Structure 1
């Protein structure tokens, strides 16, 4: 990645790590599916009136909305409501990296390089260590819900990558159209038809602050940058940065709720960072780009990559 895109990916990881603390605060007043629906309703309105719809099909927008947003966050919010700790969620959610690389290889023919595979394997070892340290406080049901959320995110990543949209913000805003109604419908079945109105009319200031963080920073800023990066680089290169989210999330939960990590968790977090480094600087990066070109990259995009390597291309909207 170019240095500015690397910095952007790291900033997104910090936002998403802190985001789970914000979600836990909001869930104290609002049912999980209603809270998730509110988040994406506020992403759509009023942004859809000012942000142009990206040049992708409605099927792509629906796929990104239903999998990257509704599926992922509906399951995450439900898992946290059922007792999944805020510091542990971003760790288990990193299963999305494995799902994304697998799906991108099958659907998009993006073969991971040897360096990326070594980094992923190292990261998985770190994930296992942290999970081992925290497993005693995580019930199985919520844990499996977060793994399913990782699968949903991986599917959404693959759809976004296949679209290669140059407007990450447009993809976030317009795909969010497909999120609130399914989540509210599920909430009406689970919590009752009046749950949404009652919860929203009794929201406290901390809950509104939590909503602001999840809408503006996590969704509009974070996912705009994320989808832009997915449109520029192979999926395996982008999703590697999400390995930074668990240590950041654990630190944020520690500072916010006094959730002190154990020695094994700290060791696992350090190994995660090592895995990120191996994935990003490992051998074979140029080969990954060539492999992607052979798999069907357009000549125009190949030209952009060549110009970018020479430092003459400034990149797309970030």
Structure 2
């Protein structure tokens, strides 16, 4: 992977790490599923009126939107609303790299080499080290929902690869159009019309700022760069970059929310970085 592509991936890592702090703040300010619906409504509208649909089958665009917009953030927002810390969420969600490699192997026939597997193993050992420090007080249901969110992300990654070299902004915008209505319907069903009405009547400038960050830097800019990278490199090469998201997520959660970072977590973060370095260094040497 060229160095400029590596730098783009690191920009996404920084945005998506801080994204967990903003999600935590948004689900504390409004119903979590309603917040997710507003997020993807802001991504899609008014952009769909100015951007042409992607040159990909309609079913694939809809499936991508349901995986990346509806499923991923329905599970993630609920898990964080039910008590998952922002830093821990950024950590657990990275099992998506495993899901991505497995699904890409089963559907696309992409075979990760032994160095990619070894690098991922080292990085996930680092995640396991951090997890031993943070999972003890976590309830099972929020944790399991975060894992389901990771599975949805893995599906979305592979769907992006299947789309080929389409316009990534178009895929992000039109895919996002598939998410708001299912999210709103689920919000009405589980959170109730009264909670939604209260959220609308008390909607503030700070709430708008949270949704704007989630919609534009996180979903649109980050999603476009991520899709662009996946269209040019195997999923097994791009996906491991997200193993760095827990590092930026833990630091952001500490700086903004006061979530503490222990020595064990720092050690685990170092393993994450080392694992990614092994994967990328070997990839460059065989390219």
Normalising to structure 2: TM-score of the pair?
Answer: 0.97
> d(CA) in 1 for partners of 2:40 and 2:93?
20
Give 2:10's aligned residue: 10
Q: CA deviation at 1:284?
A: 8.3
Contact 2:56-2:166 within 8 A present in 1 as well: no
Give 1:151's aligned residue: 151
Q: CA deviation at 1:197?
A: 3.4
Give 1:247's aligned residue: 247
Q: Against the structure 1 CA distance between its residues 222 and 283, is the aligned structure 2 distance closer, same or farther, given a 3 Å change threshold?
A: closer
Contact 2:93-2:150 within 8 A present in 1 as well: yes
Give 2:78's aligned residue: 78
Give 1:196's aligned residue: 196
> d(CA) in 2 for partners of 1:94 and 1:242?
6
Matched, 1:269 2:269: yes
> d(CA) in 2 for partners of 1:82 and 1:279?
35
Normalising to structure 1: TM-score of the pair?
Answer: 0.88
> d(CA) in 1 for partners of 2:136 and 2:190?
28
Matched, 1:279 2:276: no
Per-residue CA shift, 1:126-179, capped at 9, x if unaligned? 111111111123211101100000001101111111111331111100001110
Higher relative contact order (CA 8 A, sep 6+): 2
Q: CA deviation at 1:194?
A: 3.9
> d(CA) in 2 for partners of 1:191 and 1:93?
24
Q: Against the structure 1 CA distance between its residues 237 and 283, is the aligned structure 2 distance closer, same or farther, given a 3 Å change threshold?
A: closer
RMSD: 1.3
The SS at the match of 1:65 is: helix
Q: CA deviation at 1:191?
A: 1.2
> d(CA) in 1 for partners of 2:106 and 2:221?
29
> d(CA) in 2 for partners of 1:96 and 1:209?
28
Q: Please identify, of 158-167 and 190-199, the stretch whose mean Cα deviation from structure 2 is larger.
A: 190-199
Give 2:21's aligned residue: 21
Q: CA deviation at 1:5?
A: 1.1
1:105-184, aligned counterparts within 5 Å?
105-184=105-184
The SS at the match of 1:181 is: helix
Matched, 1:68 2:68: yes
- Aligned residue pairs, count: 287
Q: CA deviation at 1:225?
A: 0.6
Contact 1:54-1:165 within 8 A present in 2 as well: no
1:26-105, aligned counterparts within 5 Å?
26-105=26-105
Larger C-alpha radius of gyration, 1 or 2? 1
Q: CA deviation at 1:195?
A: 3.0
Per-residue CA shift, 1:250-285, capped at 9, x if unaligned? 000000011111111111011011111111112587
> Any unmatched runs of 5+ in structure 1?
288-318
Contact 1:115-1:281 within 8 A present in 2 as well: no
> d(CA) in 2 for partners of 1:285 and 1:224?
28
Contact 1:240-1:280 within 8 A present in 2 as well: no
Q: Please identify, of 185-194 and 219-228, the stretch whose mean Cα deviation from structure 2 is larger.
A: 185-194
> Any unmatched runs of 5+ in structure 2?
none
Give 1:260's aligned residue: 260
The SS at the match of 2:265 is: helix
The SS at the match of 2:86 is: coil
